């Protein structure tokens, strides 16, 4: 298997994992959201990324001492931005509904996360074949996500949209969340000094990218845990944590699925070469949307949907499938 093919396969695998990572949340029995999110955050943003780095990278975490603040701060600050996006996403969904909120946040996060590294790092000319294919893939992705979101709104009960409040504020929150959500990929793309430091300390080239995540996700931990602790205090839900089974293990599984998806994406980007942090991110995100849509179908969410909504949904899925094919071709 060629490096390029391996990178595409890993991007697809990461997308499938992250597309399913929230499924355990639906089976939580007694814990409120903040209890599950606390465990999710600690596992996925601290324990696992640090554990993977410690197991695979020689001289970790001492290797960070060879870097100056200007090299460590960008991935950390981008991580904080991504963490804020996670908090805002929940607020956007409350105001706009899952269909429109998910569409805006994921769509903007994918486009900005794909194109900013592409342009900032001057990987290729705009008129090159790979560049045009990547841009075409982003356009089709936006079309597919938009159609899926529209289908979701068509599927909603007629009275649901009338209950939505603060629509304008919800749109603003969703846009901000979407832009900031791209910063998870920006922290990876602009965290190359950390990867280089790991290489200098003897890390295998394919695994050196794991040096980025402990720093980037430490930034993301601050908003996530901060908001979670605020809710735990406001709702007085600390005592709910005493009930361990099964909610603790479901929250743990949620965190493991997410962080391994992110780690696999990092490995995929390395295998994809110079366009890895652009095309790889697009493939990863599109696969996530496709997986989430498939999970919705399998769980029966579309059983009572109108024929019109199913048609629009099918067109969205088709556009996303073509987008993956075109974006994957751009890495050759």
Q: Angle 312-315-318 (CA atoms, 0-180°, nearest 5)?
A: 155
pTM higher than 0.95: no
pLDDT of 159 above 80:
no
Q: Spell 17-39 as b/e; 16+ CB within 10 A means b.
A: bbbbbebbbeebeebeebbbbbb
pLDDT, greater one: 49 or 110: 49
Peptide bond into 309 cis (omega under 30): no
pLDDT of 31 above 80:
yes
**Quick one: which of 33, 301, 286 has its CA closest to 139?**
286
Q: How far apart are CA 103 and CA 21, in angstroms?
A: 18
Domain range list for the chain? 3-331
What local confidence, expressed as pLDDT, does residue 157 receive?
58
Q: How far apart are CA 164 and CA 301, in angstroms?
A: 21
Q: How far apart are CA 228 and CA 36, in angstroms?
A: 9
Query: Looking at residues 295-309, what average pLDDT do you find?
Result: 84
In terms of residues, how long is the chain? 332
Q: Which two tokens stand for residue 113?
A: 């996360």
Q: How far apart are CA 49 and CA 80, in angstroms?
A: 16
pLDDT tens-digit profile of 56-73? 999 999 999 999 999 999
pLDDT of 239 above 90:
yes
Q: How far apart are CA 135 and CA 115, in angstroms?
A: 8
Q: Which two tokens stand for residue 292?
A: 């989430």
Q: How far apart are CA 133 and CA 247, in angstroms?
A: 44
pLDDT of 174 above 80:
yes
Q: CA separation (Å) from 323 to 66, 130, 273, 275, 297?
A: 41, 14, 20, 16, 20
Structural contact between residues 288 and 18, judged by C-beta atoms closer than 8 angstroms: yes
Q: Distance from CA of residue 223 to its chain's centroid?
A: 16
pLDDT tens-digit profile of 121-149? 655 556 678 888 888 998 998 898 888 88
Query: Looking at residues 263-291, what average pLDDT do you find?
Result: 91
Query: Looking at residues 269-296, what average pLDDT do you find?
Result: 89
């Amino acid at each position: 298997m060629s490096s390029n093919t391996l990178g595409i396969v890993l991007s697809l695998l990461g997308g499938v994992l992250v597309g399913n990572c929230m499924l355990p949340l639906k089976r939580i029995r007694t814990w409120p959201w903040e209890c599950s999110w606390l465990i999710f955050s600690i596992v996925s943003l601290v324990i696992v990324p640090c554990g993977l780095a410690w197991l695979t990278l020689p001289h970790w975490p001492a290797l960070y001492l060879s870097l100056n603040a200007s090299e460590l701060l960008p991935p950390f600050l981008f991580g904080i931005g991504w963490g804020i996006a996670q908090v805002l996403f929940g607020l956007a969904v409350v105001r706009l509904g899952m269909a429109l909120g998910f569409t805006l946040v994921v769509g903007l996060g994918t486009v900005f996360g794909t194109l900013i590294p592409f342009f900032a790092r001057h990987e290729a000319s705009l008129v090159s074949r790979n560049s045009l294919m990547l841009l075409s893939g982003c356009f089709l992705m936006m079309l597919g996500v938009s159609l899926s979101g529209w289908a979701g709104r068509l599927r909603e009960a007629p009275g649901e949209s009338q209950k939505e409040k603060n629509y304008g504020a919800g749109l603003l929150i969703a846009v901000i969340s979407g832009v900031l959500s791209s910063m998870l990929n920006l922290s990876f793309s602009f965290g190359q000094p950390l990867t280089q430091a790991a290489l200098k300390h003897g890390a295998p080239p394919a695994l050196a990218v794991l040096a980025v995540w402990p720093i980037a996700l430490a930034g993301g931990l601050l908003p996530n845990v901060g908001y979670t602790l605020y809710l735990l205090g406001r709702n007085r839900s600390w005592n709910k944590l005493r009930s361990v089974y099964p909610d603790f293990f479901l929250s743990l599984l949620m965190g493991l699925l997410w962080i391994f998806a992110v780690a696999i994406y990092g490995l995929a980007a390395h295998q994809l070469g110079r366009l890895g942090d652009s095309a790889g991110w697009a493939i990863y995100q599109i696969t996530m949307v496709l997986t989430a849509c498939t999970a919705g179908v399998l769980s029966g969410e579309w059983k009572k949907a109108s024929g019109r909504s199913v048609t629009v949904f099918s067109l969205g899925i088709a556009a996303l499938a073509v987008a993956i094919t075109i974006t994957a071709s751009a890495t050759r």
